[in-house]
Chains A and B, each alone.
Chain A
C-alpha cells in the first residue's frame, strides 16, 4: 500500500536519508502499520467535527511587552558550527 517510490518521496520531504536496504524495510513496516490504521476510514464520521484539543482552553494572547533576549554567546553556544556573528550553514545556493 506504500511502495518504495512513495517512501523515497516522503523521506525527501522529511529530509531523511534512507539507505537502499532501508527503503524496502520501511515500505514493508509502514504498509503493515497503515494497513491497521486504515480501519478508521471505515467509520461513519459524517458531520463529526474534528477535535484539536479536547479540553476547553481559552488561551490568552501575550501583551506586546519586550522580554530580555539571550546574550549572543549563549544563543550560539550550542551550535555545531558558528562564527562570532551567527550560525553557519552550507549555502542553499551551493
Chain B
C-alpha cells in the first residue's frame, strides 16, 4: 500500500486538509491520487472525472486547501457535464455553476468528479440511472442506496475524500448509512438550491457525505448561507463549530415508537440498540416518544414530491437543452411526447404521472391539499416531541443495502423503505446518519434529528457517538 493510498484509507478530509496546510501532504499529488482512483472506479460511481488537476489548485491557505470533492450530478457545473442520471440530459453542459459548488470552490475545494445518481434524484437504490446502476463498495452485488448513491460509493471506495449530495426524502442519509458513512441533511433553506436541478423544491436540500462528523461539519460550514439567488434560502443562524462533544450528560434522546419497531431488520434493530446503549453510557437518557403522523408522512411525501417533480420536470421538453426526439410527422406534440418517452426512465415517468394526477382537476384537494395539511401535522409532531427531548434517534433505513435488482420490480416496496427519513424531510428539520455497526456484513446507519437550525447540537451529539461507536468508515477502501 503506497503512502497516498494509506493516507486516503486512514485520514479524514479534515486531517488531509491539516496535512496539506502543514506541508506534510502535497495537494496536487493528493488530487491526482483521488482523480486517478476515480478514473479507475469500477463501481460506476462517477459519470464524469476530470482529465487532470486544474492548472492552479486553490492555495493551501484557503480553508479547504485544494482538497478534491466529488459532486452529485444534480448540481449544475459550468462547462462540465451535468446529466442528473438522465438520458434526456446526456451531454448537457450548463453555462453556470450552482451556488453550493461555487461556495465549496470559493473555500478552496476542487471538484474532481461528478457522481452517479438515481435519475433526477428519484430513487433509493441508484438503480434508476440512465448511466447504469452504481455498486456498493462494501459488496458490489448490493446497491449503494440512493439517490446520492454515486457520492456515497465514491467516498466509501476512497475515490473521493468527501462528496456533495442532495436529500429530498433521505437521499443523503440513506446511501451514507448503506455505505458506512456520515451523511447530513441540513435544515431546509440552510444551503442554497440555486443551480441544483430541482426534484421537489419544498424538500430538496444539499449536504455532505463524509467519512467523519467533523468532515460533515467542515463542509456544511462552507455550504450554508442565505443566497440572494434563492428566495427560499435562509442559511443557518450561527456558524458551524468544529464538533468536540464527548459526553452526552443531560441529553434526552427521543426514540419514536413508530419508526423503531415493526419492519426494521433484526440486525439493524440490534445495531440500533447498541448505539442507544452507548449513548446511555455517555450519559444520555432515553425516552420513548410518538410521531403519530409518521406513516401518513410517507404517503404525503409521495404526493408532494411527485407533484412538485411533475411540474419541475416539465422544462425537459427538448427545446433549449438536452436531447430531442422528433416523431415522423414533425409535430410539436410528437416532439414533446417522444422526447420525454425516450429521455425519461420508468421511475421518473411513474412519478410524473403520479404527480400530474395528484394535481389534476378534481384531485388537488384530495391529494395535494391534504398532503400539505399532513405536513403541518408531522411538523407539529416534531414540535411536540422536541418539547420533551433534545434529539430524536431512529435507524436511518429499516434494512441494510439490498441486492441489486431485488426491489426494482416493486415501486411501492421501494417507497416504503424511506419511512425513517421522510418525516424529517417533511418537517424541514436537520438529520444526520452515522454508521453504528453492521448487519449481514453491511453497514447500518443511526439517524439523529434535531429541531430546525439545530445543526451544531446534532453534529456535537453525532461526534460523541461516533467516537464511542468506532466504526471504520474506510473499511471498503482497497
A and B touch in the complex (CB under 8 A): yes
User: Which positions in A face B, CB cutoff 8 Å?
Assistant: 2, 6-7, 9-11, 13-18, 26, 29-30, 32-34, 36-41, 43, 45, 48-57, 59-60, 62, 70, 74-75, 77-81, 87, 89-92, 94
Residues from chain B with a CB closer than 8 A to the CB of A87 are: 319-320
A16 to B345 Cα, complex, angstroms: 11
- Chain A interface SS verdict (over half): loop
Could you pull out 10 A-B pairs where Cβ atoms are within 8 angstroms?
A33-B354, A37-B299, A40-B371, A50-B375, A51-B373, A51-B376, A54-B452, A57-B232, A78-B95, A79-B320
A59 to B187 Cα, complex, angstroms: 16
Q: A2: shortest Cβ distance to chain B, in Å? A: 7
Residues from chain A with a CB closer than 8 A to the CB of B324 are: 80-81
Q: A14-B310, A55-B187 are in contact. List 14 more A-B contacts (CB 8 A).
A: A14-B340, A29-B411, A29-B412, A33-B350, A33-B412, A36-B299, A43-B293, A43-B374, A51-B375, A51-B376, A55-B189, A80-B321, A90-B331, A94-B331
Q: Which among A17, A43, A51 is the interface contact of B296 at CB below 8 angstroms?
A: A43
Q: Fill in one digit per residue for B274-290: 1 if any A CB lies within 8 Å of its CB, else 0.
A: 00000000000000000
Question: Nearest CB to that of A93 among chain B residues?
Answer: B332
Residue pair B95, A74 in contact (C-beta under 8 Å): yes
Q: A41: shortest Cβ distance to chain B, in Å? A: 6
A60 to B251 Cα, complex, angstroms: 37
> Known contacts being A16-B337, A57-B189, A90-B330, is A6 close to B95, with CB within 8 Å?
no
User: Which positions in B face A, CB cutoff 8 Å?
Assistant: 92-95, 187-189, 202, 228, 231-232, 234, 293, 295-296, 299-300, 302-303, 310, 314, 317-324, 326, 330-338, 340-341, 344, 349-350, 352-354, 356-357, 360, 366-367, 369-377, 379, 411-412, 415-416, 426-428, 452
Residue pair A40, B353 in contact (C-beta under 8 Å): no
Most chain B beta-carbon neighbours within 10 Å: one of A48, A62, A74, A81: A48
> Known contacts being A33-B354, A55-B187, is A43 close to B377, with CB within 8 Å?
yes
A14 to B339 Cα, complex, angstroms: 12
Residues from chain B with a CB closer than 8 A to the CB of A29 are: 350, 411-412
A59 to B357 Cα, complex, angstroms: 30
Q: Which among B93, B94, B367 is the interface contact of A37 at CB below 8 angstroms?
A: B367
Residue pair B232, A53 in contact (C-beta under 8 Å): yes
Residues from chain B with a CB closer than 8 A to the CB of A40 are: 296, 299-300, 303, 370-371, 374
Residues from chain A with a CB closer than 8 A to the CB of B300 are: 40
Residue pair A49, B373 in contact (C-beta under 8 Å): yes
Residue pair B320, A78 in contact (C-beta under 8 Å): yes
A83 to B125 Cα, complex, angstroms: 41
Residues from chain A with a CB closer than 8 A to the CB of B377 are: 43, 45, 48
Residues from chain B with a CB closer than 8 A to the CB of A26 are: 349-350, 353
Most chain B beta-carbon neighbours within 10 Å: one of A6, A15, A49: A15
Question: Nearest CB to that of B415 among chain A residues?
Answer: A33
A29 to B379 Cα, complex, angstroms: 29
> Known contacts being A55-B187, A78-B320, is A41 close to B202, with CB within 8 Å?
no
Question: Nearest CB to that of B323 among chain A residues?
Answer: A80
Residue pair A16, B340 in contact (C-beta under 8 Å): yes
Residues from chain A with a CB closer than 8 A to the CB of B411 are: 29, 32-33
> Known contacts being A16-B341, A41-B370, is A54 close to B335, with CB within 8 Å?
no
A28 to B303 Cα, complex, angstroms: 17
Question: Nearest CB to that of B187 among chain A residues?
Answer: A55
Residue pair A45, B353 in contact (C-beta under 8 Å): no
Q: Which among A55, A59, A75 is the interface contact of B188 at CB below 8 angstroms?
A: A55
Question: Nearest CB to that of A88 among chain B residues?
Answer: B319
Residues from chain A with a CB closer than 8 A to the CB of B350 are: 26, 29-30, 33
Residue pair A18, B341 in contact (C-beta under 8 Å): yes
Residue pair A50, B360 in contact (C-beta under 8 Å): no
6 nearest A-B residue pairs (beta carbon): A50-B372, A80-B324, A54-B428, A78-B321, A17-B337, A17-B341
Residue pair B322, A16 in contact (C-beta under 8 Å): no
Question: Nearest CB to that of B95 among chain A residues?
Answer: A74
Question: Nearest CB to that of B293 among chain A residues?
Answer: A43
Residue pair B357, A2 in contact (C-beta under 8 Å): yes
A54 to B300 Cα, complex, angstroms: 14
Residues from chain B with a CB closer than 8 A to the CB of A62 are: 228
Residue pair A54, B95 in contact (C-beta under 8 Å): no
Residues from chain B with a CB closer than 8 A to the CB of A48 are: 373, 376-377
Question: Nearest CB to that of B453 among chain A residues?
Answer: A55
> Known contacts being A6-B357, A10-B353, is A15 close to B428, with CB within 8 Å?
no
Residues from chain B with a CB closer than 8 A to the CB of A49 are: 373, 376
Q: A91: shortest Cβ distance to chain B, in Å? A: 7
Residues from chain B with a CB closer than 8 A to the CB of A55 are: 187-189, 234, 428, 452
Q: B343: shortest Cβ distance to chain A, in Å? A: 10
A93 to B333 Cα, complex, angstroms: 11
Residues from chain B with a CB closer than 8 A to the CB of A41 are: 366, 370
